Amino acid sequence: MQNKLLKNEKGSITLFVLLAILFFLMVIFSLFITSSNKNTIQSSEIDKIKEEYQESVDNIDQIYDIALNKNTTNLLKVGDYVNYTPDVNIKGYTIDKLTESITGSTKNSSTIKQDTLKWRILNIDENGEIDLISEKPTNQTVSFGNARGYNNGVYVINDICKNLYSNSNLGIIARSLNLKDLEDNMNKEGITAIHSYSKYGKIETYGSESNYYPKLYAKENGSGINTETVKTDGLDVNENGYSSPSTEDSSRAEKSLTVTQSFYGWSETPSRYFDEKDFYDMIFNTETYYWLASREVDCYEFFAYFGLRYISNSELTRFNMFNTDGNSYNLVSDNYLRPVVSLGTDIQITPVENADGSSPENMHQISKKIAK
């Protein structure tokens, strides 16, 4: 009897030992799995850090340039004079792109000459990239009228600036000032004033005889040809519309024409709509008038006008060239131009010692960065 008890006791001990060993192995396995998962996560994190580090190393020049740009632009301000010089253009902009079939006007000179202009900082964006604008408008006017003036006006205005005021050595392509340049520099009060303008954004549908339009308008946002549903994936009012001058004129919608009011303006544009006083003074206090490379539509109850925008001293306004009733009334206007150049990240403006950029005699210098 005693031997039997000893045997059973021995068996129980052996089972307990086996269970303990099994539990211990399970704990060890669990720890191994946890450790393995942790190692996998750590390895993934390490790989991610390595990739980010490598990316930083690969882009060190770009990071340096951005940091340098921001540091340099802290020394610059809107309104500063910069020593920018476009390519010499003796030939000028010739008559082939200024004919009546393109501009809708017979008043243009045979050639638009390049002017010697001074340049000022128009805008500095958050990345340190800079736009320059001519101190004053050009000395020659350009004339537009009728449906063709509406169709080609923005293209021709930009094309003249491109041909006369670009710099190929610096890789800079000039363009004209446009409405977006103004809106990008307006403060909250200015933007609110735009949307508070009595007719801004209003949609009108015309039938009967008042359904003519310049052909480019069919491609623009806000238009509806034979429909009251307006286009939303088309051209902005500041876009050229064509890749070369077009001789397209006007068309008539068969059933109806839907247009959207895009014009807004003020006879005396308030300076408080802009935080930068120097920006306002450069745009509105020129004591002259010049085109903006921007189209506009001005709606009324029974008809709408199509035209181009311009600035006249402190007035932000437009010149209407074509009417939805199909008549142009020989509406032709001539205005000066205001070229703008945008400097890429590879262009450097260097504040010269003791030169604060406040006048043409104390202008900052411009150069192309040396490739590393």
| pLDDT, tens only, 179-219 | 999 999 999 999 999 999 999 999 999 998 899 999 999 99
Q: Give percent of the chain with pLDDT exceeding 90.
A: 65
Residue 256 lies in a domain: yes
The answer to whether residue 49 is domain-embedded is yes
Q: Report CA Rg, the chain.
A: 34
Q: Reduce the secondary structure of 301-341 to three states and give it as a string.
A: CCCEEEEEEEEECCEEEEEEEEECCCCCCCCEEEEECCEEE
Q: Based on the domain organization, do 303 and 336 belong to the same domain?
A: yes
pLDDT exceeds cutoff 70 at 67: no
Residue 359 has pLDDT above 70, yes or no: yes
In this structure, is residue 63 part of a structural domain? no
| Same domain, yes or no: 284 and 227 | yes
The larger pLDDT score, comparing residue 32 to residue 84, is at 84
H or E segment to which residue 349 belongs: strand 347-350
**C-alpha distance across the termini of the chain, in Å:** 97
pLDDT band at 123 (very low <50, low <70, confident <90, very high): very high
Instruction: Domain of residue 227: give its range.
Output: 78-368
Same domain membership, residue 110 and residue 256: yes
Classify residue 34: in a domain, yes or no.
Answer: yes
pLDDT at residue 5, as a whole number? 42
Note whether residue 208 is domain-resident: yes
Q: How many helices (H) and strands (E) does the chain have?
A: 7, 19
Window from 31-40, 206-215, 334-343 with minimum mean pLDDT: 31-40
My answer on whether 52 and 142 are in the same domain is no
Is residue 308 within 8 Å of residue 263, measured between CB atoms?
no
Indicate the Cα dihedral angle 284, 289, 295, 298, nearest 10°: 90
pTM score of the predicted model: 0.80
Residue 164 included in any domain: yes
Residue 250 belongs to a domain: yes
DSSP 3-state of 212: strand
What pLDDT score was predicted for residue 237? 98
Does some domain include residue 273? yes
Show the beta-strand stretches assigned E in 177-288: 203-206, 212-214, 224-225, 250-252, 257-260
**169 with 302, same domain?**
yes
Single out the residue of 318, 339, 357, 308 nearest to residue 77, CA to CA: 357
pLDDT averaged over the chain? Answer: 86
Task: Using the predicted structure, report yes or no on whether residue 362 has a pLDDT greater than 50.
Answer: yes
The total number of structural domains in the chain stands at 2
- Asked whether residue 156 falls in the same domain as residue 238, the answer is yes
Most confident of 10-19, 203-212, 270-279: 270-279
Cα distances (angstroms) measured from residue 157 to each of 58, 96, 112, 209: 41, 14, 11, 32
Residues 140 and 255 reside in one and the same domain: yes
Q: 310: closest CA among 321, 300, 299? A: 321
| Token couple for 32 | 């191994």
Question: What is the b/e burial string over 326-358, where b = at least 16 CB atoms within 10 angstroms of the residue's CB?
Answer: bebeebbbbbbbbbbbbbeeebbbebeeebebe
Average pLDDT over residues 111-131: 93
Q: State the CB neighbour count (10 A cutoff) for residue 265.
A: 17
Yes or no: say if 212 and 326 are a contact pair by the CB < 8 Å rule: yes
What mean pLDDT is predicted for residues 78-100?
91
For residue 107, what pLDDT is reported?
92
DSSP H or E segment with residue 360:
none
Rounded mean pLDDT, 242-251: 95
